[in-house]
Amino acid sequence: MSLRFATVVTSLLMLTSASFAGPGADRSRAPMRMPDPVPSTAKANNDFAWQLYDRIRNKGDDNVLFSPFSITTAMSMVWAGADGETAKQMANVLGATMAGEQFRHWGMARIAQRLAASKGVKLNLANKAWAQKGFTFEPAFMNLIKTNYRTELGEHDFAKDAASAHKIINKWVAKQTNDKIPQLFGPKDIIKRTRMVLANAIYFKGDWKLKFDEKLTQKKDFWVKGNKAEKVDMMSGTRRGLRYEKRNGYAVLEIPYKGGQQSMVIALPDDKAGLSGIEKRLKTEGLMARRWARQVIVNLPKFKFDAAMGLGDHLAKMGMPRAFQPFKAEFGRMADKALYIHKVVHKAFIEVNEKGTEVAAATGVVVASPTSAGPPPKPVVFNVDRPFVFGIRDVQTNTLVFLGRVTDPR
C-alpha cells in the first residue's frame, strides 16, 4: 500500500468515525437546512408579471387584468416537460434556472399551499391535465405535475372528438371559478392533434377588513383614460393604520382584506395623465408600501370587468419562441414524440364594491403534435465507420452498467 493511498483511507475512516460519533461528540454545528424557495420564486413570478404587463399595456389604453400566478403555474407545468434550448428559453422567461429546477417547483408548491391556507377569505386553486387517450407521457413528468402542482389527471380522445373537449374543460374551469370564467376555450382552440391540455384556475373572494358604507357611495368624477371626466360610483371611507407611501410622482396604498393575509395595493399618479410614467417605474420600485399612515380618507371607484387574451405571441416575444415552433420545440421529458405549444389562453374577471372583491382567472395550455403536412425534421447521419466508445446505461437510474470502446470490430 502506497503512502498516498494509506493517507486517503485513514482520512475516510476518520470521516466515517466522526459521522457516527457517540454522545460525547461536538454537536455545536447545526444541521444544514434547505433554504425557503418561496422568496426567490415569488420574485421571479413578480418579474415575469411586470414583463407581461408591459407587453399587454402597450397594446392600448384599455383596462388590464390577468393573474400572473395562474399563468406561471400553467407554464411551469409545461416547462417541466421541456428540454434542450426550449427548456432554457422557458426558464429564462419564467425566471427559473435549469440548475434549480426542482427548487422552482418546490417554490410554486409552497406558494400554492400558503395561498390555499388563507384565512378570512375564500381562495381556490386548482390544476388539471387532460391527456390524449392512449398517448404515452413520461411517468416522471406526470408524477411531477401531480406531486408538485396537485394536478388532477384526466383523459380525453382529442383525435376522435376534439369538438367536445372545450365544453368539458370549460365546465371544469367554470366550477373552479364559481362560474366567473364560463368559457376559457373556444370551439376552435382545441384541435385533433392535441395531446394534452393543462389548465389552472384561481378564484378569490374577500371582504374588506373594514367595509365601505354604501350610504357614502356617490357619483363623482373619474378622469377616464386620463383625459375626460365621467361620473362613476365612488366609495368613500376613513381608514386608520394602513400601509401608505408617498413617492416621487405617485403614492401607494394597501387596503387589507379580512384575515390580513391579502390586500389590494393601489399606485396612484399625482397627475391625472401620469399613469404611463409610473408604470415604467413600478417594476423596480415595487408595488408595496413600506410606511404607514395614521389616517387615510379613501375614495375608491366601484368597478367590474373581465378580460381575455391569447398569450402565445406575448410569451414567444418575451423569449421562449422555440416552445411554439412545431418542428423545433423540445418536450422530450414530456413524451418521446414531437410536441409543441399550440395555444395559451387566459381569462380573468374582477368586481370591486363596498363589501369587498371577487376575482377569478384561468389559464389553459394546448400541447399538440406537429402536423404531418409540415416540413420534416432534417435527418441525422450517424455513420459508425471508425473507432468508437460505447456504454450500456440503466435508463431508470442513469447508471452506466458497461463502458468500453471498439477500435477493430473484426
At 65-121, the pLDDT tens digits run: 889 899 999 999 999 999 999 999 999 999 887 557 888 899 899 999 988 988 898
| pLDDT tens per residue across span 27-43 | 345 455 678 888 888 88
pLDDT, position 43: 87
**In terms of residue numbers, what domain contains 168?**
38-205+304-368
Does one domain contain both 165 and 313? yes
Does one domain contain both 90 and 79? yes
CATH number of 270's domain = 2.30.39.10
Among residues 406, 361, 363, the alpha carbon closest in space to that of 386 is found at 406
As a whole number, mean pLDDT of residues 239-250 equals 88
How many residues in the chain?
410
User: Where is the domain boundary, 279, 301, 323?
Assistant: 301
CATH number of 311's domain = 3.30.497.10
Q: How confident is the model at residue 243 (pLDDT cuts 50, 70, 90)?
A: confident
Does one domain contain both 161 and 253? no
- pTM score of the predicted model: 0.85
What is the rounded distance in angstroms from the CA atom of residue 277 to the CA atom of residue 271? 10
Does one domain contain both 322 and 189? yes
* 167, part of any domain: yes
Does one domain contain both 170 and 111? yes
Does one domain contain both 232 and 329? no
User: What are all long-range contacts of 316-321, with beta carbons under 8 Å and residues at least 24 apart?
Assistant: 317/55, 318/51, 318/52, 318/55, 318/93, 319/89, 319/92, 319/93, 320/86, 320/89, 320/90, 320/92, 320/93, 321/89
Does one domain contain both 194 and 328? yes
Q: How confident is the model at residue 275 (pLDDT cuts 50, 70, 90)?
A: confident
The chain-wide mean pLDDT, for the chain, equals 83
| pLDDT tens per residue across span 173-218 | 999 999 999 999 999 999 999 999 999 999 989 998 999 999 999 9
Range with the poorest average pLDDT among 278-292, 344-358, 391-405? 391-405
Assess whether pLDDT exceeds 70 at residue 155: yes
